[in-house]
A = this chain, B = another copy of it.
């Protein structure tokens, strides 16, 4: 299977990965959530090859996850900012970070904490059911075909 074909799979995970499932893309997005916006900032903080970075930024922009916005004319310079669609990926980054906090941190503890602005505490994100509000684990849910299941090779 080719990587670009993933977006036509009848699976939202696969479709999402067709956009962000690349080696570097999620790290670029991590930098975005930390406030990074400029090409050179991404390069310096990630150590990514420049042409790979250029390619990822282009693809993320085409996908509507980032937008290029000029921050000065003459010489024209553009920076990359998260769109709403991009900010909607925050839960993915948070859950990735929390798994790393739990399973990949050294004895000192996690490298980065998250403070909830509203309540002021260091927090963890907890995934709860939108309907009943209870926390949900892997075994608490049952998958069921949805309306978009088995699209007839559209």
Name A114's contact: one of B48, B139, B142, B154 (CB within 8 Å). Answer: B142
Q: B112 and A141: CB pair below 8 A?
A: no
Q: How many copies, total? A: 2
Interface SS of A by simple majority? mixed
- What number of A residues sit within 8 Å (CB to CB) of B? 89
* Residues in B whose Cβ lies below 8 Å from that of A150: 111
| A54 contacts chain B at the CB level, 8 A cutoff | no
On whether A93 and B132 interact (CB within 8 A), knowing A48-B1, A109-B146, A114-B143, the answer reads no
Q: A140 and B127: CB pair below 8 A?
A: no
Shortest CB-to-CB span from A6 to chain B, Å, is 8
Shortest CB-to-CB span from A85 to chain B, Å, is 6
